[in-house]
Amino acid sequence: MKKASLGAVTALGIVLALLVAFSLSMTGSVVTVKADPPVEICDGEDNDLDGLCFGGSNSGNVCTSNANCPGGGCVKEDEDFAVQGIPVGGSGCYGENGTCSLYEGFVQCLNTQVSICSTDPGGIDDESQPEVCDDKDNDCDGKVDDGFEVQGVPIGGFGCFGSNGVCSNYEGFAQCLNTQVSICSTDPGGMDYEYHPEVCDNLDNDCDASVDEGIAPQACGSGLCAGSKNCSTGGMWGPCSTVYKDGGTCAICDYQGTPVYDGTQDSDCSGYSYDPIGTCLNNPDDNNPFTWDYCLGFTSECLAIDTCTQQSMSLTHECSKAGCSAECASDGDCSNGYCKGPAGGCGCRLNGDVVAVPPLSRVVNIYDLAAIGISFNTHPGDMNWNAEADVHPRGGDGKVGIFDLAFVGMNYGHSY
C-alpha cells in the first residue's frame, strides 16, 4: 500500500493555485502571500490537477494526458495510491501479508490516506481469517501465529519452560500443540517431552498439574496381615490396610503389615483354657459313675507371639455316697473292711481281699494268697507288681512282702 507523497490537507474541493500579489499602503511595505499547492488524497478525484503515467516508456512520470505516456496511460485520479504498481481500481494485486497474499483482487481506497488490495484486511474481498496456530499468518497482519506466544516466547522461539510439575525444570521452544493451543516443547505432547510415570513422591511427574494421582495401591504385609497401602499426602505411602487388625495368636498387625506381639490378653489363647469340672460322669477319665470327679478351671494367657500358657487337665476322683450314690465314701462306711477307691468302684473291700473274683468276691480265699505269692517281693514298676496285693497297711507301703502275706492270712476265710 502507498500513502500520499505530501502532507494531508484539509481543504475540500478543487482550489486553483494562484499567485496573488498585492500592495498595501503601510509605510511603503509590500507583502506577498503564496497558497500551498493542492495534495492528492484517495477519494476517486484528481485533487492535485496532474497525473502519473502507468505503463509504457514514461511510466511513473507526471503527466497531464495520455499523450505524455507513450505505450501507457495517464491516470489523474488517486494516482499516488497505486498498489504493487496497479492504480486504484485496477485488478491483479494480491494481499500484502500472510494467507491474503494467495488471493488476487483489485486496488481500492481504505480511507483518504491509505490504499490496499481488496483481498487485504478491511478490503471488499477481505480474505483474512482468525489466527490459528499453524505456522501461517492467517489474519494477514504480518505476524505468524501471533497470540500463541508461550511465556512471551513466539512460536519457534527458544527459552520457554514446561508449564507443570517436573517439566518446568526443562527449557524448550514454543510450538503448536494443535491449531488452538500452543505449548512449550517440554510439556506433554511437545517434541521434547520425556514421559515420566507418576510415582509416590509429592511431585507432578507426568506434568498434568496433579500430584501423585492414579497411583495403584501396593501390596504389603503377610499372612493374616497381608493387605495393601495407598499413596497419601506428602508423597508418603500410608499404613497397610490391615494395621491394628488381628495378626494371629497373641499378635496384632503393625503399620507395615507385620504380625507383632500385642502385649495384651485377649481370646487368642482360649483354645488352651478349660472351665472347672465337677461331675459323677466324667468318662473316659476313670469311667466310674460313683466318684466325684473335679478340677479347677484354667485360663490360658499370651506369653509372646504365637505362644500361650498351657496346663494339662488333672482330675481328682473321690468316692461320693451323697453325690454319686457310691457304696462308701470312707472306711467308716465298711463294717468289716475298708472303702476301696475309684479303681475298686467305691465299694467296701474285706481286709485281705486282694482279688475280687465273682462268685468268690467279698471273701478272703486262696485266690488272694495266690495274688500275694505272684507279686511277692515286688515294687511299683516291677514285672509282677500288683497294687491290689499291697494290702497292709491301708494304702500300701509300696512293696508286696511278708506283712501283706500275714495280713491276708489273718483274714483268711472272712467274708463280707
Output the pLDDT for position 347: 82
Q: What is the CATH number of the domain that holds 387?
A: 1.10.1330.10
The reply to whether 113 and 23 lie within a common domain is yes
Query: Is residue 312 one of the residues assigned to a domain?
Result: no
Query: Is residue 416 one of the residues assigned to a domain?
Result: no
Query: Is residue 244 one of the residues assigned to a domain?
Result: yes
Q: Which of 193, 214, 235 finishes a domain?
A: 214
The reply to whether 44 and 94 lie within a common domain is yes
Query: Helix, strand, or coil here: 167?
Result: helix
Q: Which of 96, 117, 138 finishes a domain?
A: 117
Please say whether the beta carbons of 140 and 125 come within 8 A: no
- For 204-218, b/e burial (b = at least 16 CB within 10 A) is bbbbbeebbeeeeee
Within 10 A of 165 (CB to CB), how many other CB atoms are there?
A: 20
Distance CA 286, CA 3 (A): 131
Query: Is residue 323 one of the residues assigned to a domain?
Result: no
Which positions of the chain have pLDDT values less than 50?
A: 1-30, 359-360
> Cis (ω within 30 of 0) for the bond into 284?
yes
pTM of the full predicted structure? Answer: 0.53
Output the pLDDT for position 128: 96
Output the pLDDT for position 20: 33
In the numeric block, the cell 527459552 is attached to: 159
Query: Is residue 195 one of the residues assigned to a domain?
Result: yes
The reply to whether 102 and 164 lie within a common domain is no
Query: Is residue 269 one of the residues assigned to a domain?
Result: no
Output the pLDDT for position 285: 76
Q: Which of 231, 264, 297 finishes a domain?
A: 264
Query: Is residue 274 one of the residues assigned to a domain?
Result: no
Please say whether the beta carbons of 255 and 240 come within 8 A: yes
The reply to whether 30 and 112 lie within a common domain is yes
Output the pLDDT for position 387: 80
SS (H, E, C) 367-397: HHHHHHHHHCCCCCCCCCCCHHHCCCCCCCC
The reply to whether 197 and 222 lie within a common domain is no
Helix (H) or strand (E) holding 137: none
Output the pLDDT for position 8: 33
Output the pLDDT for position 23: 34
Query: Helix, strand, or coil here: 220?
Result: strand
Output the pLDDT for position 364: 83
Distance CA 176, CA 144 (A): 12
Output the pLDDT for position 46: 85
In the numeric block, the cell 457310691 is attached to: 326
The reply to whether 209 and 229 lie within a common domain is no
The reply to whether 204 and 224 lie within a common domain is no
For 396, residues 6+ apart whose C-beta sits below 8 A from its C-beta are 387, 390
Q: Report the number of distinct structural domains present in the chain.
A: 4
The reply to whether 227 and 245 lie within a common domain is yes
Output the pLDDT for position 194: 84
- Taken as a whole, the chain contains a residue count of 416
pLDDT digits (tens, 9 = 90+) for 376-385: 999 988 998 8
CA–centroid distance for 389 within its chain: 82
Query: Is residue 327 one of the residues assigned to a domain?
Result: no
pLDDT digits (tens, 9 = 90+) for 225-261: 999 999 998 999 999 999 999 998 899 999 999 999 9
The reply to whether 376 and 362 lie within a common domain is yes
The reply to whether 105 and 23 lie within a common domain is yes
Domain hosting 246: range is: 218-264
